[in-house]
Structure 1
Amino acid sequence: MNFENEFNGRKVVVTGAGGIIGGWIAEAFAKEGAQVCLTDRSEDRLEALRASLPGNGHFILAADLTDAGSMTALAGAVGERWGAPDILINNAGIYPSGFLLDISVDDWDRIINVNLRAPFVLSQLFARQMIDAGKGGAIVNISSGAARKMRSTAVPYCTSKTALDRLTKGFALELAEYGIRVNAVEPGFAPGSDTSALSDEHVKTVTASIPLGRPSSAPDVAAAVLYAASSAASYVTGATLTVDGGNSIGSLAVFQQKKKAL
Protein backbone atom coordinates (compact mmCIF):
# COMPACT_ATOMS: atom_id res chain seq x y z
CA MET A 1 0.00 0.00 0.00
CA ASN A 2 1.31 3.42 -0.97
CA PHE A 3 0.76 6.04 1.72
CA GLU A 4 2.25 8.84 -0.40
CA ASN A 5 4.61 10.01 2.33
CA GLU A 6 1.75 11.03 4.61
CA PHE A 7 3.73 9.85 7.63
CA ASN A 8 6.66 12.15 6.92
CA GLY A 9 7.54 13.90 10.17
CA ARG A 10 4.68 12.27 12.08
CA LYS A 11 5.42 11.44 15.71
CA VAL A 12 4.76 7.81 16.67
CA VAL A 13 5.03 6.04 20.04
CA VAL A 14 5.43 2.25 19.88
CA THR A 15 5.27 0.27 23.10
CA GLY A 16 6.88 -3.14 23.31
CA ALA A 17 9.18 -2.07 20.49
CA GLY A 18 11.80 -4.58 21.59
CA GLY A 19 9.58 -7.48 20.52
CA ILE A 20 9.24 -8.93 17.05
CA ILE A 21 5.92 -7.29 16.16
CA GLY A 22 6.86 -3.99 17.80
CA GLY A 23 10.05 -3.96 15.76
CA TRP A 24 8.14 -4.58 12.54
CA ILE A 25 5.78 -1.72 13.29
CA ALA A 26 8.53 0.72 14.25
CA GLU A 27 10.51 -0.09 11.11
CA ALA A 28 7.46 0.39 8.90
CA PHE A 29 6.73 3.85 10.29
CA ALA A 30 10.40 4.85 10.04
CA LYS A 31 10.51 3.78 6.38
CA GLU A 32 7.51 6.03 5.76
CA GLY A 33 9.38 9.01 7.21
CA ALA A 34 7.94 9.09 10.73
CA GLN A 35 9.87 9.82 13.90
CA VAL A 36 9.48 6.95 16.34
CA CYS A 37 9.69 6.77 20.12
CA LEU A 38 10.73 3.23 20.96
CA THR A 39 9.74 2.10 24.41
CA ASP A 40 10.15 -1.18 26.29
CA ARG A 41 11.27 -2.31 29.72
CA SER A 42 14.97 -2.14 28.88
CA GLU A 43 16.85 0.26 26.66
CA ASP A 44 19.40 -2.44 25.82
CA ARG A 45 16.93 -4.33 23.64
CA LEU A 46 16.07 -1.17 21.72
CA GLU A 47 19.53 0.14 20.84
CA ALA A 48 20.06 -2.18 17.89
CA LEU A 49 16.60 -1.42 16.55
CA ARG A 50 17.06 2.34 16.80
CA ALA A 51 20.40 2.11 15.02
CA SER A 52 18.86 0.11 12.18
CA LEU A 53 15.94 2.45 11.50
CA PRO A 54 16.10 4.76 8.49
CA GLY A 55 15.63 8.46 9.04
CA ASN A 56 16.31 10.72 12.00
CA GLY A 57 14.61 11.81 15.21
CA HIS A 58 14.02 8.34 16.66
CA PHE A 59 14.63 7.95 20.37
CA ILE A 60 14.40 5.41 23.18
CA LEU A 61 12.58 5.62 26.51
CA ALA A 62 12.53 2.74 28.97
CA ALA A 63 9.24 2.23 30.79
CA ASP A 64 7.72 -0.35 33.10
CA LEU A 65 4.14 -0.77 31.91
CA THR A 66 3.11 -2.41 35.16
CA ASP A 67 3.87 0.84 37.01
CA ALA A 68 1.57 3.85 36.64
CA GLY A 69 4.34 6.25 37.65
CA SER A 70 6.64 4.91 34.95
CA MET A 71 3.93 5.38 32.32
CA THR A 72 3.26 8.92 33.52
CA ALA A 73 6.98 9.66 33.22
CA LEU A 74 7.00 8.18 29.71
CA ALA A 75 4.14 10.39 28.60
CA GLY A 76 5.77 13.39 30.24
CA ALA A 77 9.06 12.83 28.43
CA VAL A 78 7.29 12.42 25.09
CA GLY A 79 5.21 15.52 25.73
CA GLU A 80 8.30 17.55 26.62
CA ARG A 81 9.99 16.50 23.40
CA TRP A 82 7.06 16.53 20.97
CA GLY A 83 4.19 18.29 22.69
CA ALA A 84 2.02 15.36 21.65
CA PRO A 85 2.44 12.29 19.47
CA ASP A 86 0.35 11.94 16.33
CA ILE A 87 0.04 8.18 16.73
CA LEU A 88 0.15 5.77 19.67
CA ILE A 89 0.67 2.05 19.08
CA ASN A 90 -0.20 0.02 22.17
CA ASN A 91 1.73 -3.08 21.17
CA ALA A 92 3.32 -4.35 24.40
CA GLY A 93 1.88 -7.62 25.63
CA ILE A 94 2.84 -10.75 27.53
CA TYR A 95 1.67 -14.36 27.11
CA PRO A 96 2.53 -16.50 30.15
CA SER A 97 0.85 -19.90 29.88
CA GLY A 98 -0.70 -22.09 32.53
CA PHE A 99 -3.97 -23.67 33.56
CA LEU A 100 -6.37 -21.51 35.54
CA LEU A 101 -5.97 -23.74 38.58
CA ASP A 102 -2.22 -23.10 38.53
CA ILE A 103 -1.98 -19.41 37.59
CA SER A 104 -1.04 -17.28 40.59
CA VAL A 105 -2.80 -14.05 41.44
CA ASP A 106 0.47 -12.21 40.78
CA ASP A 107 0.72 -13.71 37.28
CA TRP A 108 -2.91 -12.85 36.58
CA ASP A 109 -2.33 -9.26 37.68
CA ARG A 110 0.84 -8.97 35.58
CA ILE A 111 -0.93 -10.15 32.44
CA ILE A 112 -3.90 -7.84 32.94
CA ASN A 113 -1.65 -4.92 33.88
CA VAL A 114 0.51 -5.14 30.77
CA ASN A 115 -2.13 -6.21 28.24
CA LEU A 116 -5.09 -4.12 29.39
CA ARG A 117 -4.30 -1.61 32.13
CA ALA A 118 -1.28 -0.18 30.29
CA PRO A 119 -3.21 0.54 27.06
CA PHE A 120 -5.87 2.24 29.17
CA VAL A 121 -3.38 4.42 31.06
CA LEU A 122 -1.28 5.29 28.02
CA SER A 123 -4.28 6.00 25.80
CA GLN A 124 -5.63 8.29 28.49
CA LEU A 125 -2.33 10.13 28.96
CA PHE A 126 -1.50 10.55 25.28
CA ALA A 127 -5.09 11.36 24.27
CA ARG A 128 -4.98 14.28 26.68
CA GLN A 129 -1.85 15.53 24.95
CA MET A 130 -3.49 15.12 21.52
CA ILE A 131 -6.56 17.01 22.71
CA ASP A 132 -4.43 19.85 24.09
CA ALA A 133 -2.55 20.00 20.78
CA GLY A 134 -5.89 20.24 18.95
CA LYS A 135 -4.81 18.21 15.94
CA GLY A 136 -6.52 14.87 16.43
CA GLY A 137 -4.59 11.64 16.26
CA ALA A 138 -4.76 7.88 16.00
CA ILE A 139 -4.40 5.08 18.52
CA VAL A 140 -3.91 1.49 17.40
CA ASN A 141 -4.13 -1.34 19.92
CA ILE A 142 -2.47 -4.64 19.04
CA SER A 143 -4.98 -7.30 19.93
CA SER A 144 -5.18 -10.99 19.05
CA GLY A 145 -7.51 -13.64 17.69
CA ALA A 146 -7.43 -14.89 21.28
CA ALA A 147 -9.98 -12.16 21.95
CA ARG A 148 -12.57 -14.32 20.18
CA LYS A 149 -11.14 -17.85 20.32
CA MET A 150 -10.47 -19.28 23.78
CA ARG A 151 -7.17 -21.13 24.26
CA SER A 152 -6.49 -23.67 26.98
CA THR A 153 -3.58 -22.60 29.23
CA ALA A 154 -3.96 -19.02 27.96
CA VAL A 155 -7.25 -17.91 29.51
CA PRO A 156 -5.79 -14.80 31.24
CA TYR A 157 -4.30 -13.70 27.91
CA CYS A 158 -7.57 -14.32 26.07
CA THR A 159 -9.46 -12.41 28.75
CA SER A 160 -7.11 -9.44 28.50
CA LYS A 161 -7.44 -9.26 24.71
CA THR A 162 -11.24 -9.56 24.78
CA ALA A 163 -11.34 -6.67 27.22
CA LEU A 164 -8.84 -4.72 25.08
CA ASP A 165 -11.22 -4.93 22.13
CA ARG A 166 -14.00 -3.45 24.27
CA LEU A 167 -11.63 -0.77 25.56
CA THR A 168 -10.78 0.08 21.96
CA LYS A 169 -14.45 0.68 21.18
CA GLY A 170 -14.93 2.66 24.36
CA PHE A 171 -12.07 5.05 23.64
CA ALA A 172 -13.18 5.30 20.00
CA LEU A 173 -16.63 6.39 21.15
CA GLU A 174 -15.46 8.96 23.66
CA LEU A 175 -12.54 10.42 21.68
CA ALA A 176 -14.34 10.78 18.35
CA GLU A 177 -15.38 14.38 19.09
CA TYR A 178 -11.70 15.31 19.35
CA GLY A 179 -10.78 13.79 15.99
CA ILE A 180 -8.89 10.92 17.62
CA ARG A 181 -9.55 7.54 16.03
CA VAL A 182 -9.00 4.32 17.98
CA ASN A 183 -8.78 0.93 16.31
CA ALA A 184 -7.29 -2.49 16.91
CA VAL A 185 -5.24 -4.83 14.74
CA GLU A 186 -5.07 -8.58 15.33
CA PRO A 187 -1.79 -9.93 13.91
CA GLY A 188 -1.45 -13.61 13.17
CA PHE A 189 0.99 -16.23 14.39
CA ALA A 190 4.48 -14.68 14.39
CA PRO A 191 7.25 -17.04 15.52
CA GLY A 192 10.70 -15.64 16.20
CA SER A 193 10.28 -13.83 19.51
CA ASP A 194 13.33 -13.83 21.77
CA THR A 195 11.16 -13.73 24.87
CA SER A 196 8.73 -16.49 23.84
CA ALA A 197 10.85 -19.01 21.97
CA LEU A 198 8.91 -21.73 20.14
CA SER A 199 10.14 -25.11 19.02
CA ASP A 200 10.39 -25.88 15.32
CA GLU A 201 7.80 -28.62 15.78
CA HIS A 202 5.33 -26.23 17.38
CA VAL A 203 5.83 -23.67 14.62
CA LYS A 204 5.27 -26.38 12.01
CA THR A 205 2.10 -27.63 13.71
CA VAL A 206 0.53 -24.19 14.10
CA THR A 207 1.48 -23.13 10.58
CA ALA A 208 -0.17 -26.26 9.17
CA SER A 209 -3.46 -25.24 10.80
CA ILE A 210 -3.55 -21.73 9.27
CA PRO A 211 -5.90 -21.60 6.25
CA LEU A 212 -3.52 -19.45 4.18
CA GLY A 213 -0.67 -21.82 5.04
CA ARG A 214 1.97 -19.51 6.50
CA PRO A 215 2.77 -17.49 9.62
CA SER A 216 2.51 -13.74 9.79
CA SER A 217 5.25 -11.56 8.31
CA ALA A 218 6.41 -7.99 8.77
CA PRO A 219 4.55 -6.65 5.69
CA ASP A 220 1.29 -8.26 6.85
CA VAL A 221 1.30 -6.56 10.23
CA ALA A 222 2.85 -3.28 9.08
CA ALA A 223 0.35 -2.71 6.28
CA ALA A 224 -2.58 -3.20 8.64
CA VAL A 225 -1.23 -0.88 11.34
CA LEU A 226 -0.19 1.81 8.87
CA TYR A 227 -3.62 1.67 7.26
CA ALA A 228 -5.39 2.03 10.62
CA ALA A 229 -3.23 5.06 11.44
CA SER A 230 -3.52 6.67 8.00
CA SER A 231 -5.94 9.07 6.34
CA ALA A 232 -7.13 6.13 4.23
CA ALA A 233 -8.92 5.02 7.41
CA SER A 234 -10.22 8.50 8.28
CA TYR A 235 -13.78 7.15 8.62
CA VAL A 236 -12.76 4.05 10.56
CA THR A 237 -12.85 4.01 14.34
CA GLY A 238 -13.73 1.38 16.93
CA ALA A 239 -12.91 -1.35 14.43
CA THR A 240 -10.76 -4.46 14.71
CA LEU A 241 -8.78 -5.55 11.65
CA THR A 242 -7.87 -9.23 11.72
CA VAL A 243 -4.71 -10.10 9.79
CA ASP A 244 -4.05 -13.73 10.70
CA GLY A 245 -4.36 -15.78 7.53
CA GLY A 246 -7.75 -17.05 8.67
CA ASN A 247 -6.37 -18.67 11.81
CA SER A 248 -9.11 -17.30 14.07
CA ILE A 249 -11.99 -18.59 11.95
CA GLY A 250 -11.08 -22.26 12.24
CA SER A 251 -8.37 -24.90 12.05
CA LEU A 252 -7.34 -26.10 8.61
CA ALA A 253 -5.64 -29.09 10.23
CA VAL A 254 -8.99 -30.43 11.42
CA PHE A 255 -10.44 -30.06 7.94
CA GLN A 256 -7.45 -31.83 6.41
CA GLN A 257 -7.80 -34.72 8.85
CA LYS A 258 -11.46 -35.13 7.95
CA LYS A 259 -10.63 -34.91 4.24
CA LYS A 260 -8.07 -37.71 4.57
CA ALA A 261 -10.62 -39.83 6.40
CA LEU A 262 -13.11 -39.57 3.49
Structure 2
Amino acid sequence: MDFFSDISGKHVVVTGACGVVGRWIVDAFAAAGANLCLTDAQAPALDAYAGGVALGPDGFAHAADLTDENSIDGLISEIGRRWGAADILVNNAGIYPSGFLLDISTEEFDKIFSVNLRAPFILTRGIARQMIEKGVKGSVINISSGASRKMRRTVVPYCTSKTALDRLTKGFAIELAEFGIRVNALEPGFAAGSSVSSLTDEHVNNTIAAIPLGRPSSPGDVANGLLYLASDASAYVTGATLTIDGGNSIGSLAVHQAKKRPL
Protein backbone atom coordinates (compact mmCIF):
# COMPACT_ATOMS: atom_id res chain seq x y z
CA MET A 1 0.00 0.00 0.00
CA ASP A 2 1.14 3.53 -0.77
CA PHE A 3 1.24 5.15 2.67
CA PHE A 4 1.91 8.54 1.12
CA SER A 5 -1.37 8.63 -0.81
CA ASP A 6 -3.28 8.04 2.43
CA ILE A 7 -1.56 10.96 4.17
CA SER A 8 -1.62 13.57 1.41
CA GLY A 9 -3.80 16.52 2.40
CA LYS A 10 -4.36 15.25 5.94
CA HIS A 11 -4.08 17.65 8.88
CA VAL A 12 -1.34 16.50 11.24
CA VAL A 13 -0.25 17.86 14.64
CA VAL A 14 3.30 17.12 15.83
CA THR A 15 4.48 18.08 19.32
CA GLY A 16 8.18 18.45 20.12
CA ALA A 17 8.69 19.33 16.48
CA CYS A 18 12.17 20.83 16.92
CA GLY A 19 13.74 17.76 18.51
CA VAL A 20 15.71 15.09 16.66
CA VAL A 21 12.88 12.57 16.37
CA GLY A 22 10.40 15.43 15.99
CA ARG A 23 12.18 16.62 12.85
CA TRP A 24 12.20 13.09 11.44
CA ILE A 25 8.45 12.91 12.03
CA VAL A 26 7.87 16.31 10.44
CA ASP A 27 9.98 15.39 7.40
CA ALA A 28 8.04 12.15 6.92
CA PHE A 29 4.65 13.86 6.92
CA ALA A 30 5.87 16.79 4.84
CA ALA A 31 7.18 14.38 2.20
CA ALA A 32 3.78 12.67 2.22
CA GLY A 33 2.03 15.97 1.45
CA ALA A 34 0.34 16.57 4.80
CA ASN A 35 -0.77 19.89 6.25
CA LEU A 36 1.27 20.29 9.41
CA CYS A 37 0.76 22.02 12.73
CA LEU A 38 4.18 22.12 14.38
CA THR A 39 4.42 22.89 18.05
CA ASP A 40 7.33 23.23 20.46
CA ALA A 41 8.02 25.20 23.61
CA GLN A 42 10.47 27.77 22.23
CA ALA A 43 8.77 30.16 19.80
CA PRO A 44 11.94 31.60 18.15
CA ALA A 45 13.42 28.15 17.46
CA LEU A 46 10.06 26.86 16.25
CA ASP A 47 9.53 29.78 13.88
CA ALA A 48 13.04 29.44 12.48
CA TYR A 49 12.59 25.71 11.90
CA ALA A 50 9.05 25.94 10.51
CA GLY A 51 10.21 28.54 7.98
CA GLY A 52 12.24 25.87 6.20
CA VAL A 53 9.60 23.13 6.20
CA ALA A 54 6.86 22.44 3.64
CA LEU A 55 3.94 22.82 6.06
CA GLY A 56 1.29 22.51 3.36
CA PRO A 57 -1.29 25.12 2.28
CA ASP A 58 -3.11 24.94 5.62
CA GLY A 59 -0.04 24.39 7.78
CA PHE A 60 1.15 26.57 10.62
CA ALA A 61 3.41 26.68 13.68
CA HIS A 62 2.14 27.39 17.19
CA ALA A 63 4.41 27.50 20.25
CA ALA A 64 2.99 25.84 23.35
CA ASP A 65 4.31 25.11 26.84
CA LEU A 66 3.24 21.53 27.51
CA THR A 67 3.61 22.00 31.26
CA ASP A 68 0.87 24.68 31.14
CA GLU A 69 -2.72 23.50 30.59
CA ASN A 70 -3.82 26.94 29.43
CA SER A 71 -1.08 26.93 26.79
CA ILE A 72 -2.15 23.47 25.60
CA ASP A 73 -5.78 24.58 25.49
CA GLY A 74 -4.69 27.56 23.36
CA LEU A 75 -3.08 25.16 20.89
CA ILE A 76 -6.19 22.99 20.76
CA SER A 77 -8.37 26.05 20.19
CA GLU A 78 -6.14 27.26 17.35
CA ILE A 79 -6.33 23.85 15.68
CA GLY A 80 -10.11 23.96 15.95
CA ARG A 81 -10.26 27.49 14.58
CA ARG A 82 -8.04 26.74 11.58
CA TRP A 83 -8.98 23.17 10.74
CA GLY A 84 -12.11 22.27 12.66
CA ALA A 85 -10.30 19.07 13.63
CA ALA A 86 -6.99 17.36 12.99
CA ASP A 87 -6.80 13.99 11.27
CA ILE A 88 -3.64 12.82 13.01
CA LEU A 89 -2.02 13.74 16.32
CA VAL A 90 1.56 12.72 17.11
CA ASN A 91 2.40 13.15 20.79
CA ASN A 92 6.16 13.21 20.35
CA ALA A 93 7.39 15.75 22.93
CA GLY A 94 9.24 14.23 25.86
CA ILE A 95 12.02 14.98 28.29
CA TYR A 96 14.76 12.64 29.55
CA PRO A 97 16.53 14.20 32.53
CA SER A 98 19.00 12.03 34.41
CA GLY A 99 19.34 11.69 38.14
CA PHE A 100 19.09 9.21 40.98
CA LEU A 101 15.73 9.01 42.72
CA LEU A 102 17.33 10.12 45.98
CA ASP A 103 18.45 13.33 44.28
CA ILE A 104 15.55 14.28 42.01
CA SER A 105 13.37 17.08 43.32
CA THR A 106 9.60 16.90 43.40
CA GLU A 107 9.53 19.72 40.84
CA GLU A 108 11.73 17.74 38.43
CA PHE A 109 9.61 14.63 38.90
CA ASP A 110 6.41 16.57 38.26
CA LYS A 111 7.82 18.18 35.10
CA ILE A 112 8.74 14.81 33.60
CA PHE A 113 5.22 13.52 34.08
CA SER A 114 3.71 16.81 32.99
CA VAL A 115 5.42 16.70 29.58
CA ASN A 116 5.58 12.94 29.01
CA LEU A 117 2.13 11.91 30.28
CA ARG A 118 -0.16 14.77 31.32
CA ALA A 119 0.29 16.73 28.06
CA PRO A 120 -0.53 13.74 25.82
CA PHE A 121 -3.66 13.18 27.92
CA ILE A 122 -4.83 16.79 27.60
CA LEU A 123 -4.00 16.99 23.89
CA THR A 124 -5.56 13.66 23.00
CA ARG A 125 -8.70 14.47 24.98
CA GLY A 126 -9.10 17.89 23.37
CA ILE A 127 -8.29 16.89 19.81
CA ALA A 128 -10.40 13.72 20.03
CA ARG A 129 -13.36 15.85 21.08
CA GLN A 130 -12.88 17.93 17.93
CA MET A 131 -12.56 14.78 15.80
CA ILE A 132 -15.80 13.42 17.22
CA GLU A 133 -17.63 16.70 16.68
CA LYS A 134 -16.52 16.86 13.03
CA GLY A 135 -16.94 13.14 12.37
CA VAL A 136 -13.23 12.59 11.73
CA LYS A 137 -12.05 9.00 12.08
CA GLY A 138 -8.58 10.02 13.12
CA SER A 139 -5.36 8.53 14.36
CA VAL A 140 -3.35 9.33 17.49
CA ILE A 141 0.25 8.14 17.74
CA ASN A 142 2.11 8.39 21.04
CA ILE A 143 5.90 8.25 20.86
CA SER A 144 6.90 5.79 23.56
CA SER A 145 10.18 4.03 24.37
CA GLY A 146 11.61 0.64 25.17
CA ALA A 147 12.25 2.23 28.57
CA SER A 148 8.57 1.59 29.27
CA ARG A 149 9.45 -2.11 29.67
CA LYS A 150 13.12 -2.00 30.72
CA MET A 151 13.95 -0.06 33.86
CA ARG A 152 17.18 1.96 33.80
CA ARG A 153 19.15 3.47 36.66
CA THR A 154 19.17 7.29 36.85
CA VAL A 155 16.15 7.67 34.55
CA VAL A 156 13.47 5.91 36.60
CA PRO A 157 10.89 8.74 36.32
CA TYR A 158 11.28 8.73 32.53
CA CYS A 159 10.83 4.96 32.36
CA THR A 160 7.79 5.17 34.62
CA SER A 161 6.24 7.98 32.58
CA LYS A 162 6.58 5.92 29.39
CA THR A 163 5.03 2.87 31.05
CA ALA A 164 2.09 5.04 32.03
CA LEU A 165 1.90 6.48 28.49
CA ASP A 166 1.58 2.95 27.10
CA ARG A 167 -1.35 2.30 29.43
CA LEU A 168 -2.90 5.65 28.52
CA THR A 169 -2.57 4.67 24.85
CA LYS A 170 -4.56 1.50 25.44
CA GLY A 171 -7.11 3.36 27.57
CA PHE A 172 -7.80 5.96 24.88
CA ALA A 173 -7.84 3.22 22.22
CA ILE A 174 -10.60 1.29 23.93
CA GLU A 175 -12.69 4.37 24.69
CA LEU A 176 -12.32 6.08 21.29
CA ALA A 177 -12.82 2.94 19.18
CA GLU A 178 -16.57 3.51 18.91
CA PHE A 179 -15.86 6.81 17.16
CA GLY A 180 -13.45 5.27 14.68
CA ILE A 181 -10.44 6.97 16.26
CA ARG A 182 -7.38 4.74 16.54
CA VAL A 183 -4.70 5.26 19.20
CA ASN A 184 -1.34 3.51 19.00
CA ALA A 185 2.21 3.91 20.27
CA LEU A 186 5.50 3.88 18.38
CA GLU A 187 8.87 3.10 19.95
CA PRO A 188 11.46 4.65 17.61
CA GLY A 189 14.58 3.34 19.28
CA PHE A 190 17.66 5.22 20.39
CA ALA A 191 18.42 8.57 18.76
CA ALA A 192 21.08 10.80 20.28
CA GLY A 193 21.20 14.59 20.19
CA SER A 194 18.13 15.94 21.95
CA SER A 195 18.46 19.64 22.70
CA VAL A 196 16.36 19.19 25.82
CA SER A 197 18.02 16.09 27.27
CA SER A 198 21.70 16.03 26.33
CA LEU A 199 23.67 12.77 26.51
CA THR A 200 27.37 12.21 26.99
CA ASP A 201 29.46 10.68 24.20
CA GLU A 202 30.21 7.74 26.47
CA HIS A 203 26.52 7.08 27.04
CA VAL A 204 25.77 7.34 23.31
CA ASN A 205 28.61 4.99 22.32
CA ASN A 206 27.78 2.42 24.98
CA THR A 207 24.10 2.43 24.05
CA ILE A 208 24.79 1.94 20.34
CA ALA A 209 27.25 -0.87 21.11
CA ALA A 210 24.53 -2.71 23.03
CA ILE A 211 21.87 -2.58 20.28
CA PRO A 212 21.54 -6.02 18.63
CA LEU A 213 21.35 -4.59 15.08
CA GLY A 214 24.36 -2.41 15.82
CA ARG A 215 23.12 1.09 15.01
CA PRO A 216 20.82 3.83 16.32
CA SER A 217 17.43 4.68 14.89
CA SER A 218 17.33 6.50 11.55
CA PRO A 219 14.82 8.88 9.96
CA GLY A 220 13.68 6.20 7.52
CA ASP A 221 12.99 3.70 10.30
CA VAL A 222 10.73 6.17 12.07
CA ALA A 223 9.01 7.34 8.87
CA ASN A 224 8.06 3.83 7.79
CA GLY A 225 6.48 2.95 11.12
CA LEU A 226 4.85 6.32 11.58
CA LEU A 227 3.21 6.45 8.16
CA TYR A 228 1.97 2.88 8.62
CA LEU A 229 0.21 3.73 11.88
CA ALA A 230 -1.19 6.97 10.43
CA SER A 231 -2.42 5.41 7.18
CA ASP A 232 -5.28 3.12 6.21
CA ALA A 233 -2.77 0.26 6.08
CA SER A 234 -3.26 -0.01 9.85
CA ALA A 235 -7.03 0.50 9.79
CA TYR A 236 -7.55 -2.54 12.04
CA VAL A 237 -4.76 -1.64 14.47
CA THR A 238 -5.49 0.19 17.73
CA GLY A 239 -4.09 -0.01 21.24
CA ALA A 240 -0.87 -1.47 19.84
CA THR A 241 2.80 -0.60 20.28
CA LEU A 242 5.05 -0.77 17.23
CA THR A 243 8.68 -1.21 18.27
CA ILE A 244 11.34 -0.13 15.77
CA ASP A 245 14.51 -0.17 17.84
CA GLY A 246 16.93 -2.70 16.37
CA GLY A 247 16.12 -5.14 19.17
CA ASN A 248 17.34 -2.78 21.90
CA SER A 249 14.32 -3.39 24.12
CA ILE A 250 14.53 -7.19 24.03
CA GLY A 251 18.13 -7.62 25.09
CA SER A 252 21.61 -6.15 25.13
CA LEU A 253 24.85 -7.20 23.44
CA ALA A 254 26.96 -5.43 26.05
CA VAL A 255 26.98 -5.43 29.81
CA HIS A 256 27.62 -1.91 31.03
CA GLN A 257 29.38 -1.34 34.28
CA ALA A 258 26.71 -0.42 36.78
CA LYS A 259 26.68 3.29 37.48
CA LYS A 260 26.78 3.91 41.20
CA ARG A 261 25.52 6.90 43.06
CA PRO A 262 28.27 8.46 45.18
CA LEU A 263 27.49 8.39 48.87
- TM-score under structure 1 length normalisation: 0.94
Q: CA deviation at 1:167?
A: 0.3
Q: Who is 1:39 aligned against? A: 39
Q: Who is 2:29 aligned against? A: 29
Q: Secondary structure at the match of 2:187?
A: strand
Matched, 1:108 2:109: yes
User: Is the CA contact (8 Å cut-off) linking 1:50 and 1:58 kept in structure 2?
Assistant: no
Rounded to whole Å, the distance in 2 between the matches of 1:158 and 1:234 is 29
Q: Who is 2:129 aligned against? A: 128
Rounded to whole Å, the distance in 2 between the matches of 1:49 and 1:227 is 25
Amino acid at match of 1:119: P
Greater CA drift, 203-212 or 230-239: 203-212
- TM-score under structure 2 length normalisation: 0.93
Amino acid at match of 2:212: P
**Paired residues for 1:50-69 under 5 Å:** 50-54=50-54, 55-69=56-70
User: Is the CA contact (8 Å cut-off) linking 1:31 and 1:53 kept in structure 2?
Assistant: no
Amino acid at match of 1:36: L
Q: CA deviation at 1:40?
A: 0.7
Q: Cα deviation per residue 1:209-228 (whole Å; 9 max; x = unaligned)?
A: 00000000111112111111
**Paired residues for 1:151-162 under 5 Å:** 151-162=152-163
Q: Cα deviation per residue 1:20-42 (whole Å; 9 max; x = unaligned)?
A: 11111011101100000000111
User: Is the CA contact (8 Å cut-off) linking 1:98 and 1:154 kept in structure 2?
Assistant: yes
Rounded to whole Å, the distance in 2 between the matches of 1:72 and 1:163 is 22
The count of residues paired between Structure 1 and Structure 2 equals 255
Rounded to whole Å, the distance in 2 between the matches of 1:91 and 1:128 is 20
Q: CA deviation at 1:53?
A: 2.1
**Paired residues for 1:1-262 under 5 Å:** 2-54=2-54, 55-254=56-255
Between the aligned residues of both structures, percent identity stands at 64
Rounded to whole Å, the distance in 2 between the matches of 1:165 and 1:253 is 27
The root-mean-square deviation of aligned C-alpha atoms, in Å, is 1.4
Unaligned runs of 5+ in 2: 257-263
Change (3 A) 1:247 1:58: same
User: Is the CA contact (8 Å cut-off) linking 1:64 and 1:71 kept in structure 2?
Assistant: yes
Rounded to whole Å, the distance in 1 between the matches of 2:152 and 2:87 is 35
Amino acid at match of 1:53: V
Rounded to whole Å, the distance in 2 between the matches of 1:182 and 1:64 is 23
Q: Who is 2:259 aligned against? A: none
User: Is the CA contact (8 Å cut-off) linking 2:85 and 2:136 kept in structure 1?
Assistant: no
User: Is the CA contact (8 Å cut-off) linking 2:182 and 2:237 kept in structure 1?
Assistant: yes
Unaligned runs of 5+ in 1: 256-262
Change (3 A) 1:32 1:4: closer
User: Is the CA contact (8 Å cut-off) linking 1:165 and 1:184 kept in structure 2?
Assistant: yes
Rounded to whole Å, the distance in 2 between the matches of 1:83 and 1:252 is 48
User: Is the CA contact (8 Å cut-off) linking 1:187 and 1:216 kept in structure 2?
Assistant: yes
Q: CA deviation at 1:201?
A: 3.1
Rounded to whole Å, the distance in 2 between the matches of 1:52 and 1:215 is 26
Q: Secondary structure at the match of 1:247?
A: coil
Rounded to whole Å, the distance in 2 between the matches of 1:165 and 1:141 is 8
